[in-house]
């Protein structure tokens, strides 16, 4: 069986800024894999390259099919779905309207799935017809993940989902990620919360200034001194003469 995702030689450039440098990543079916790295390391740019929302060089195989030239909506329809950094909830729309946006690429019946989502998240069900602005940060993250679920992902990419959440909500979020994975979802998790990410993922990659400087099993990465160095040494604002 081919890997669910195999990306080779991914390069993203913004003008002269080479934000992602010849990155190779792969995910097997059913894995949780994390991508770690300091601010500006290129994590979001890598996810956008995989999703097809920034121009990138390199090859992306999804379940063995070369999707490198596909548009982002076509990739979403194939099951490559992202929960973006900062959640990107539309606060003037209702909770339900936000949820339905996840189904924009579908033309089949999905009411059973929205019912299942409201069963899973009673807080969202109670606020279904209220503007999403009434939601707390944690509830907005649940809504962003629910919206992504409605796109029927085979691979869900989460960009710093724990950002700004209290420790209790972070724990709930990681429980949810594990639950979704147990239900069969493959997950690519970008995080700055290295501790929680490595406790959840099977393997990880560490990005520094756009390049992978370290990769391996979560336990090995947790105890690798180079992980901390990647965070400190890789900070653009700390790069002195």
Ligand X SMILES: Nc1ncnc2c1ncn2[C@@H]1O[C@H](COP(=O)(O)OP(=O)(O)OP(=O)(O)O)[C@@H](O)[C@H]1O
| β-strand partners of 187 | 32, 156
Q: Which region among 14-22, 26-34, 121-129, 173-181 touches ligand X (by CB under 6 A)?
A: 14-22
**Euclidean distance between the first and final Cα of the chain, in Å?**
48
CB of 159 to Mg ion, least distance (A): 6
Q: Applying CB under 6 A, does 42 fall inside the site for ligand X?
A: yes
From the list ligand X, Mg ion, none, partner contacted by residue 204 (C-beta under 5 to 8 A by kind): none
Residues that bind Mg ion (CB under 5 A): 43-44, 85
CB of 23 to Mg ion, least distance (A): 14
CA distance 188 to 31: 8
From the list Mg ion, ligand X, none, partner contacted by residue 187 (C-beta under 5 to 8 A by kind): none
Candidates 4, 7, 37, 212: give the one binding ligand X (CB under 6 A): 37
From the list Mg ion, ligand X, none, partner contacted by residue 188 (C-beta under 5 to 8 A by kind): none
Q: Which region among 3-11, 37-45, 66-74, 129-137 touches ligand X (by CB under 6 A)?
A: 37-45
Q: Applying CB under 6 A, does 86 fall inside the site for ligand X?
A: no
Candidates 10, 19, 157, 230: give the one binding ligand X (CB under 6 A): 19
Contact positions with ligand X (CB under 6 A) in 128-187:
none
* Residues engaged in binding ligand X (CB under 6 A): 14, 17, 19, 37, 39-45, 85
């Amino acid at each position: 069986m081919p890997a669910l995702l195999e990306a080779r030689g991914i390069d993203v450039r913004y003008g002269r800024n080479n934000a992602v440098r010849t990155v190779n990543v792969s995910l097997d079916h059913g894995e949780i894999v994390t991508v770690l790295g300091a601010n500006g390391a290129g994590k979001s740019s890598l996810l956008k390259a995989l999703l097809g929302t920034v121009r990138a060089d390199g090859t992306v195989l999804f379940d063995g099919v070369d999707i490198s030239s596909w548009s982002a909506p076509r990739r979403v329809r194939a099951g490559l779905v992202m929960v973006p950094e900062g959640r990107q909830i539309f606060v003037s729309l209702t909770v339900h309207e936000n949820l339905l946006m996840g189904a924009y690429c579908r033309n089949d019946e999905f009411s059973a799935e929205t019912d299942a989502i409201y069963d899973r998240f009673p807080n969202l069900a109670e606020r279904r017809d209220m503007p999403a602005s009434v939601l707390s940060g944690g509830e907005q993250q649940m809504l962003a993940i629910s919206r992504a679920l409605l796109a029927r992902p085979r691979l869900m990419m989460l960009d710093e989902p724990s950002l700004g959440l209290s420790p209790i909500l972070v724990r709930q979020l990681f429980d949810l990620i594990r639950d979704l994975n147990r239900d069969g979802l493959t997950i690519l998790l970008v995080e700055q919360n290295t501790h929680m990410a490595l406790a959840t993922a099977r393997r990880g990659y560490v990005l520094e200034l756009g390049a992978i400087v370290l990769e391996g099993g979560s336990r090995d990465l947790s105890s690798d001194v180079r992980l901390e160095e990647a965070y400190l040494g890789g900070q653009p604002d700390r790069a002195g003469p």
